[in-house]
Amino acid sequence: MPDSPQRLFTVTSDTLVIADLTPRRAAERHPREHGSYRRLLALPGARAFTAGNLLARLPMGMFSVSAVVMIAGTRGSYALAGAVTATGLAATALLAPWIARLVDRHGQARVAVPATLFAALGSLALLLCVHYGAPDWTLFAAYAATATTPNTGGMSRARWNHLLNGDPAALHTANAFEQAVDELCFMLGPVLAAFLCGTFFPEAGTLTGVVLLVTGILTFAAQRATEPPPHPRPAPGSPLRTPGLPPLLGVCLLLGAVFGATEVATIAFADEHGHRTAAGIVLALQAAGSCAAGLAYGAIRPSGPAARRHPWCVATMATLLTLPLLAATVLDSLPLLAAALLVSGTATAPTMVTTMALIQERTPVARLNEGMTLAVTGLLGGIACGSATAGWLTDHTSPATAYTIPLGAATTALLIALAAGRRGRLTRRTASEPSAR
C-alpha cells in the first residue's frame, strides 16, 4: 500500500521505486531520468491528450496547401488562391489572441470545441463554394471563418506547464517534444495534402483536414484530468506589457520571416532549376533536421537559465543560415542547397524551444495561452512579411539573392536577443543593489 496519498509504487525491470505524483518532486528524486521522453509520456493522461493534439495539429500543415491546390485547380488562378490564404492568415493574426484569452478565462474544452466546430464549418463552406463555383468573395469570407481555430500547440504546452508544476528542466523536455511535433506536422501535412488532392479529388485534402481537426480537438478536450484550471479573473494588464516579453515577440516575428522567406526562395530556386516538384522534398529535409535536433536537444539536461542560452541558440541559427545562401549564390546547386537546409534546420528547434521556454517563464499563468498565442501570431506575421519580401526580391533580382532575407532576419533577431539579455542583467543588478546595501 502507498505510504501516503501523494505517492505510489512503480515497478521497473529490476527495481522498486517510490514515485511522487507531483512531477517536480518526482524529477528531483530521479534527475538522471529527468529528460526521458518515456517518463514524460508516462505522466497520467499525457499520452491521451498528446494523441488528440497530434491529430488536431496535423491539419495545420495541410489546410493552406489544400486550399491553394483546390482553388488554383478549379479557378485557374494562383493569385486568387494566394490572396485567399493570405486573408485567412491575417484573420488568424487578429482573432487568435482573443480566442486564447477566452481559453485562459473559461477553460480549454469549453472554448476550443465550439471554436473548432465554427472553423470546421468555414473550411466546409470554402470547399462547397469552390466546388459549386460560388463568387470569389465567398472564398475570402469562408476561409476567414477558419481563423477561430484554437492554438492547439499552445494549449498542449499549457497542459505540460500545469502537469509539471512549472519545473524548468522538465518543461525543457516537454517544449522540445512539442517543437518536434510541430516540425513533424509541418513536414508531413503538405505532403499528405498534395497526395490527397492529386490522387483523389481537389477537395480531398481540405475534407480530410477537417475530419482530423475535429476528431483531434474532441479527443484532446475530453481529457479533463490534465486540463489547466480556468482563470476567470486573469492577471491585470496585457501580456504585451509584461517585462521581457515584447523583445521575445520581436524575435518571433523575425524567426517567422526566416521561415517564410526560406520557403519562397526555395520554391523559386527549385523552379529556376527545372525541379519545382522537388521543392517540397527540400523543405521537408529542413523540417527533418529541426525535428531530429529538437528531440536531441530535449533529451539533454539544459545548462544554465533559458535567458542565457537564448542568444547562443539564435547566434547558431544565424551562423548556419549562411550555408543556404552560399549553396544558392556561390555553388548554384539544388542538391547542395538541400544539404545546407538540412544542416541549418538543426538550429530551428533549439531556438524555438528556448524562446517558448522564456515566454512561459515571463507570462503570468492566468494568461499563458494568450502569451504563447501572441508568439504564434508574431511567427505568422513574420512568415507573411518574409514571404512577400522574398517574392519581391525573387522577381526583381534572383531566387538565390532572396536567401539574404533569412540571414538578415536571424542576425537582427540575435541583436534583439543580446540587447534584451543585457537589459535584463542590468535590471536584476539594479534591483539587487538596495538589498546589498
Residues 6+ apart with CB under 8 A from 247: 416, 417, 419, 420
Residues 6+ apart with CB under 8 A from 199: none
The pTM score is 0.73
The pLDDT score that the predictor gives to residue 278 is 75
Question: pLDDT at position 428, please?
Answer: 52
Alpha carbons 172 and 29: distance in angstroms, whole number: 18
Residue 39 has, within 13 A of its CA and on its CB side, a CA count of: 24
Q: What domains are defined for the chain?
A: 46-233 (1.20.1250.20), 235-430 (1.20.1250.20)
User: How does DSSP classify residue 62?
Assistant: T
What is the rounded CA–CA span in Å between residue 158 and residue 164? 10
Residue 317 confidence (pLDDT): 95
Q: Which three cell numbers stand for residue 91?
A: 484573420
Q: What is the DSSP string of 88-115?
A: HHHHHHHHHHHHHHHHHHH-HHHHHHHH
Tens of pLDDT, residue by residue, the chain (437 residues): 344 333 333 333 333 333 344 444 334 434 344 447 888 888 888 999 999 999 999 988 788 878 877 887 888 876 788 788 778 888 888 888 889 889 988 999 999 999 999 999 999 999 999 999 999 999 999 999 999 999 888 899 889 988 888 677 788 888 888 888 887 887 788 778 878 887 888 889 899 999 999 999 999 999 999 999 888 776 666 667 777 888 999 999 999 899 888 888 887 888 788 776 677 788 888 888 888 888 888 888 777 788 888 999 999 999 999 999 999 998 888 999 999 999 999 999 899 988 988 888 888 877 777 888 888 888 888 887 887 788 888 878 888 898 999 999 999 999 999 988 777 665 555 544 554 44
Contact 49, 41 (CB under 8 A): no
d(CA 15, CA 336): 50
Helix (H) or strand (E) holding 23: helix 23-29
